[in-house]
A and B are shown apart, each in its own frame.
Chain A
Amino acid sequence: MFSKSQRQGLMGVVAALVVAVIVLQARIDPLRRQEAIEPKTVGKVLEKNATTLPFEYILGTLTGFRQVIAGLLWVRTDSFFHSGNYDAVLPMIRLITWLDPNWLDVYATGAWHLMYNFTDTDQRSDRRYLEPGLALLDEGIANNPNVYDLYKEKGWNNFDKVKDYETAVNALKAGAENDPKFDVTQLGHLMAHALERAGRTDESIQQWEQIVKQHQAVLDDKKSTPDAIGRATQGVKSARNNLAHMKVRQIVRRKDTQPPVDAGFTVTVKRTKPKVLEISGTFNLVGAKEFDMGTPEKPGKGILVEGPVDGARVDVRLQDEGYKMAKRQEFSFEVDPKLTIMQDQISIRGGKKAEKGGLFVAQGKNAGSVERSAEHVAVYGFDDEEIKKHKLGSVLLSKGLGQLSPMGQLQAVSVAYPLPYASTKKQYTPAEVQTLMARLRNDSAKLAELDGKKYCVAQNDAYQAGTFRREIDMSKDPSMYSFANDTFELILTMNPRTAPDFVQDRIGWSGEGLTDKNYLYVDKEKNNLRMIRRVIKLKREDLTGTEPKVLVAK
């Protein structure tokens, strides 16, 4: 047994230690309450979900198992996603990002889910979810300002989905500024592409130059891991390639984009059934059929052969009149059930031409693609009807050798004796054409082969602009397309910045080589982007009426 004085002494020690405990706690509190250790969002789980969350989840959250709970919820979310129960995914993402606001993948996956995976029966994204998707990324960035990942996600989603390249550039720049350890391949490359799409080609070239240096620094650093060296090797190769292409294109596109191509844009909008629109039209889409790149030191000739091409698209957007996507201050996955937005893309296809004395391929009832060697010298396939319509005749190559124009001769020798696939030489010289023509005249086997493939000599000029057509059915998804508004706008655009390289080679990065008598639109807010744009105002009855009706013609 302790004596009284011993007990008093021990109680004194206890009192002193209790004071020490209080002092310690007061010193620990500010360190513990920092966001990195104890995020404030955890409180929202209890504040907003105390009655809906199962008790064990609440208890787990309270007793320090919030990340276990977040993990379990994430596993469950994944199973919901794979079973197609998308609606259940959103509240889970909300909860998980509150429980663990530093779990970057949940924001990234959640935003991807919101922006890409809610679709109608024809797989068109529900554009109403772009706003909450971007708000989720903004919340993630606010909770993780010093990590580049979510800036990159915001950049990518703006680049790929929203096609707002300026916002993409700003997000990516912010990521690079806030996290000096950013991944050059992921963030830097995307920024260069976004700058190019934003029409800021000089800055894009500077960015590629910077990227090459950054990759090279990794390669030169003796401390770099094999994995880092592997990625930098791939990265520098890709960056040098892109840099060279940008530099050459900046030179050759100045001449190749002139004179501008007349798009000859027409559109017909028909209501075939209630809430079903058939959108069709024509677009003279011209691009490079053969392109000589060269090197930045010795740029090539640019477009060697041009002609109608497939590949670009007309963007179609139907929305409540005057709608503009707002920036949400706070993330919520709720969307306005009365808002209607439909966005789709329609490919421009089937443009073709033949010039008198040139080659074409007679393809019978259905015209389609031609072999690669023919495609690169602008030889197109025509069906019987088109041949008749354009009076192209039916003179097979072997019989029409004497009728060939200089272009026809180039086409003939190119399809007869194609250049190797990987050849750096892109086209035969005029002298080579003459030599090969002499050879072809005596090469009866080759002529018989080409006749067999129905290569014919055109007896007339023929030109056919590309067309586009799609039936857009909005009747099957009333929750997505409520048509609650009285007035709508149907916006049809062709944006050169989203076009593939071989189209941009002719019409330019920002539409320098594009014009249209009726629908050329110059967007000064987007660095003088020249695009084709037509806005058609529609009333609700136009969309919901029962009888088939032509709403707009030409």
Chain B
Amino acid sequence: MSTTLVIARNTISEALRRKILNAFLLVGVAMIVLTFAFQAFQPRQELTLIKGMGLGIISLAGILISVILSINLIPTEIERRTIYTILSKPVRRYEFLLGKWGGAVGTVFINVLLMTVVFVAAVAVKQIIGQQPLDAFALFKGALMTYMQLFLLCSLAIFLSIFTTPLINFFLTLSLFILGNLSSFIQDLAKNSTNIVLKGIFTAVHYLVPNFGNFQYSNPLLNPGVQVNSEALFLIQNVVYAVVYSAVLLILAVLAFDRREV
């Protein structure tokens, strides 16, 4: 376990040193600041715009960071041949893979946390100055859902990186991300389909493809008037879903990586 943690820590350090990640972070923070450019709108409209844009920017920046980071972690080690040095030491392959994965989700966590803290603080200041009801801290729920979505996305990208090149993985991961976001439509297609084969395919896709659409939780945060039934249960189930699905992907990745010639 300690080996895994050491690899994860090193992966985080290395990732944070990579300028591309810092650039994304800076862009994310800068764009959050830019969301304060809506002062021409009425206060409530302005706040809705700021919240919507802010959550969107965190999500978009997070997706790019997660995909670009995760698809490269293992292939880069193989390409640079540094993996031989690591595996020649008392490091098991699964420890290496889990360490890399831990580094990826840890890096994403730091990035999302930083962006969220800046964003929530900015919204809170705006609400206090404007003497509006202070509900900025509810945005952490949105950030949690975004992070769990990215957590699952990192797991998927790392799983696919065992079999594919980074370029293919990039498109494959994003395709599955879009497909996973479409799961409600796919579920509706399954419900409305009269062809039993199609119905079966749509149903299988809905349940088996990682359901990234589960984590879309901006509506109640942007529109405080809406009432969500069983909010806590919904959020917890989504966290568990991301963890369990990631576990599936990681075990399969471990098994595949264990047999892969490097």
Contacts and interface: CB of A to CB of B under 8 A. Distances in A.
A32 B159 CA distance: 27
A31 B233 CA distance: 9
B218 to A, nearest CB: 5
Nearest to B223: A102
Interface centre among A46, A103, A146 (most CB of B within 10 A): A103
Contact of B206 (A25, A62, A75, A109): A25
Interface centre among B41, B226, B237, B259 (most CB of A within 10 A): B226
Interface residues of B, number: 62
A24 B206 CA distance: 12
A104 B220 CA distance: 13
A10 to B, nearest CB: 5
B84 interface: no
A62 B223 contact: no
Interface residues of A: mostly helix, strand, loop or mixed? helix
Given A11-B255, A13-B251, A35 B226 contact: yes
Contacts of B147: none
B215 to A, nearest CB: 8
B222 A100 contact: yes
B251 to A, nearest CB: 5
Contact of B59 (A14, A32, A46, A65): A65
Contacts of A20: 244
B182 interface: yes
B216 A71 contact: no
Given A2-B258, A31-B229, A37-B220, A67 B55 contact: yes
Interface in A7-44: 7, 10-11, 13-14, 17-18, 20-22, 24-29, 31-39, 43
Given A24-B244, A62-B178, A36 B228 contact: yes
A105 B42 contact: yes
B49 interface: yes
Interface residues of B: mostly helix, strand, loop or mixed? helix
Nearest to A149: B225
Contacts of A75: 38, 49
A37 B219 contact: yes
Interface string B10-37: 0000000000000000000000000000
Contact of A71 (B49, B131, B226, B229): B49
Interface in B180-215: 181-182, 184-185, 187-188, 206-208, 211-215
A104 B225 contact: yes
A422 interface: no
B207 A21 contact: yes
Interface in B224-246: 225-230, 233-234, 237-238, 240-241, 244-245
Contacts of A21: 207-208, 241, 244-245, 248
Across the A-B interface, give the 4 residue pairs with the lowest CB-CB distance, nearest first: A68-B56, A102-B223, A147-B225, A36-B226
Interface of A: 1-2, 7, 10-11, 13-14, 17-18, 20-22, 24-29, 31-39, 43, 46, 59, 62-65, 67-68, 70-71, 74-75, 78, 100, 102-105, 109, 144, 146-147, 149, 227
25 contacts: A2-B255, A2-B258, A17-B245, A17-B247, A21-B241, A24-B244, A27-B237, A28-B237, A29-B187, A36-B220, A37-B216, A38-B216, A63-B177, A63-B178, A64-B181, A65-B59, A67-B52, A68-B53, A68-B57, A70-B52, A71-B49, A78-B40, A102-B222, A102-B223, A105-B44
Given A17-B244, A25-B207, A67-B219, 15 more contacts: A10-B251, A14-B248, A18-B208, A21-B245, A24-B237, A25-B241, A31-B230, A34-B229, A36-B227, A37-B220, A38-B213, A64-B216, A74-B49, A78-B40, A103-B223
